Amino acid sequence: MTKKPFSKILIANRGEIAGRVIRTARRMDISTVAVYSDADRHAMHVREADEAAYIGPSPAAESYLAGDKIIETAKASGAEAIHPGYGFLSENPGFVEAVEAAGLIFIGPSAASIRAMGLKDAAKALMEKAGVPVVPGYHGEAQELVLLATKAREIGYPVLIKARAGGGGKGMRRVDDPDKFADALASCRREAKASFGDDQVLVEKYIEKPRHIEVQVFGDNFGNAVHLFERDCSAQRRHQKVIEEAPAPGMTDEMRAAMTDAAVKAAKAINYSGAGTIEFIVDGSQGLMPDGFWFMEMNTRLQVEHPVTEMVTGVDLVEWQLRVAAGEALPLKQEEIELDGHAMEVRVYAENPSNGFLPSTGTLHHLDFGTDDPMWPVSGRVDTGVETGDTISPFYDPMIAKLIANSIDREGCIDELVAVLSSTKIAGVSTNIGFLAALLVNEEFEAANIDTGIIERNLDELILRPEPDDAAIFSAILAASGMSAASSSRDPWDMIAGYGHFHPVGKLVRLKRGETMVQARAFAQGGDRVRIESGESTDTVISLADNGNFALWPGHVTVFDGPFCHDFEIPDPFAEAQDHGAGDRLTAPMPGLVKIARAAAGDAVKKGAALLVLEAMKMEHTISAPQDGTIAEITEEGTQVSEGAILVRFRDTGEKNGKAKR
């Protein structure tokens, strides 16, 4: 048996990457310590780890970015090493040095390697020296406007102004017109200063049909470095990756040899140890050519999209990280690493594509990836850090999960991912599932005609959402009616929501979608059949057995329709009763008995005052005044009222210029 590299590690991260590290550590019999903030007190990674420790308030700056607290916690727990995951402190050389100064091991590269690749201008100068191709451009220290504008003219428009620090698409501006260079530079500098505390920039040739292809590299502490082939991450929105795949579509043996050789040279140039990614910008206008790619930057950590590499190579990259950090040599030589099949990953986010992809926060009232379905692809993989009942908070990245498919070819991957997305059901927050499914079947994407502008070119089409059809609306009505549990019995008590003593009683259902109100009655037909009467000329009969594709959650029902979903609000009849009083009357939200009258005609009442107690469905409901006013009429105690009956009428007391309104 191979000796385990550590007995205990602390994971200085959260969400799905923390869970990902925990799974490999558990398989290797390594104990794990999770850290958490106030917002993550009950998070999945906290539940999954062997131990968990509180490190501070919800803002990342006071918890996951508080390196001193994390190191203190690691020492107190008896952990030997710290795994940073990605983001947060993963590429902070000062944190690496502090970890090592505390007598702990940082599971990642050295501080020197991180610094060497931390600034884009210095990194590109280093790569040029190592013989790695770089994009034609200016990477110097001088930052005067006149100099930069002159360099831009020499390079040739269009050019790209880029912040030398940071990433994630911040501090980047394309400029096509020399007259607009100064304004674009000023804007780029402001954003770079605000995001990274550094407003220095570099200027590069803009590649007209750019593809983003990166190579996974791995080094150890004995001077060895290998590649694990490439990933294509060209499908991006605002420089953020949306779909990643391996291998890159259209990759030739000649191009792969040149690109992977350059990536290994880059890793060796900085004595790199651990997992890293060399990112290249590729000119895709003439196909993939061995002289048409250039170094862009290096990510000195594990990447979010690492699962696609794991699927096509069979390598557990986290295990390699742990072994290399513990002083072991790379587990495989270059010739032993093979590329097999195709893999593709999509990132499911809590966001609203039709509203500018704004994040959507809230409780995941329903979360099901469909993995129990016999039709779910056996090669599929879900990396997530949340489950039903968890919360998407405003403090961190709103990613819900990464869905990964593996097949013998790209076409099979697309088919599998569409199936996985269609079986994923999430209610409580908005998601980008429909957007992802639309992108996968987009004509350009399916044909592998991809570049970093593919989403923007097709955005209007990709964010379209179908309106619910009659089947979806009837499904929502049935779900909200309470008659959603199939029964083989014909006993009317099994359908109590639709039972009447001498005649059929329909359950009134009112739903709201946007500004549209839907109203219908559901009648039990015996067995598992329900008749929906919606005011149309033809009623609809539905089998309960066919109506399981929905989720009920507080005040809502969500109906799932392939990769799309339709949310309906279930109006609170008692809240609505208050709204109904916004005029001169207050009506009964449902049939019931006026059990108690707490006010009388002539009484002046304040907003919120209890007026009546209505007994309905064996429960008492207090009807309150929706506004200040004087009661003109009120229903007497003991009165049986029907839905919509006037319970309270108010006097018209509005005055203008001392005169009563008419």
Q: Which residues contact 399 (CB under 8 A, 6 or more apart)?
A: 15, 16, 347, 348, 349, 350
Quick one: pLDDT at residue 486? 43
How many C-beta neighbours within 10 Å does residue 471 have? 15
Q: How far apart are CA 184 and CA 172, in angstroms?
A: 9
Nearest partner of 200 among 147, 157, 267, judged by Cα: 147
Mean pLDDT, residues 238-243 taken together: 88
Whether residue 485 is predicted with pLDDT greater than 60 in this model: the reply is no
pLDDT of 487 above 50:
no
Which residue did the predictor score with more confidence, 583 or 284? 284
| pLDDT of 23 strictly over 50 | yes
Contacts of 47 (CB under 8 A, 6+ apart): none
Percent of the chain with pLDDT over 70: 90
Active site residues: 301
For the chain, give the percent of residues with pLDDT over 90.
63
Instruction: State both tokens at 68.
Output: 């001193």
* β-strands 362-363, 391-392 pairing: antiparallel
pLDDT at 1: 47
Least confident of 39-43, 175-179, 443-447, 500-504: 500-504
Which of the four pLDDT bands, split at 50, 70 and 90, describes residue 590? low
Determine the Cα angle at 266 with ends 262 and 268, to 5°: 115
Residue 252 scores a pLDDT above 60: yes
pLDDT of residue 541: 78
Q: Are 606 and 626 in contact (CB under 8 A)?
A: no
Which residue in 478, 568, 562 sits closest to 528, CA to CA? Answer: 478
Nearest to 280 by CA among 216, 323, 222: 216
| Closest listed residue to residue 30, CA positions, set 40, 41, 39, 22 | 22
Q: Dmax over Cα atoms in the chain, in whole Å?
A: 95
Q: Mean pLDDT, to the nearest integer, of 111-125? A: 88
Distance, C-alpha 252 to centroid of its chain? 33
- Lowest-pLDDT range, 124-128, 327-331, 336-340? 124-128
C-alpha angle 346-466-352 in degrees, rounded to nearest 5 = 50
Residue with the bigger pLDDT between 304 and 623: it is 304
What confidence tier does 480 reach under pLDDT thresholds 50, 70, 90?
confident
Mean pLDDT of 19-38: 97
Q: What's the rounded mean pLDDT across residues 319-346?
A: 98
pLDDT attached to residue 444: 97
Report the alpha-carbon distance of residue 453 to residue 339 in Å, rounded. 28
Q: What is the overall mean pLDDT for the chain?
A: 88
Residue from 645, 643, 577 nearest 611 by CA: 577
pLDDT tens digits, one per residue of 499-519: 555 555 678 888 999 888 888
Asked whether the beta carbons of 436 and 235 are under 8 A apart, the reply is no
DSSP strand pairing (640-641 vs 619-624): unpaired
- Which of 87-101, 152-166, 249-263, 321-335 has the weakest average pLDDT? 152-166
- Name the pLDDT band for 656 (thresholds 50, 70, 90): very low
pLDDT of residue 355: 85
Two structure tokens written together for 70 = 């994390």
* Lowest mean pLDDT segment, chosen from 5-19, 127-141, 155-169, 387-401: 155-169
Q: What residue has token string 């880059």?
A: 266
Q: What mean pLDDT is predicted for residues 596-625?
A: 81
What mean pLDDT comes out for the span 70-87? 97
pLDDT band at 488 (very low <50, low <70, confident <90, very high): very low
pLDDT-derived band of residue 218, with 50, 70 and 90 as boundaries? very high
**pLDDT tens digits, one per residue of 278-297:** 999 999 888 899 999 999 89
Report yes or no: 43 and 24 within 8 Å, Cβ to Cβ: no
pLDDT tens for 119-163 read: 877 888 899 899 999 888 898 889 999 999 999 999 989 999 999
Question: What confidence score (pLDDT) does residue 462 get?
Answer: 97
Burial (CB count within 10 angstroms: exposed 0-12, middle 13-18, buried 19+), residue 355: exposed
Confidence category of residue 542, pLDDT binned at 50, 70, 90: confident
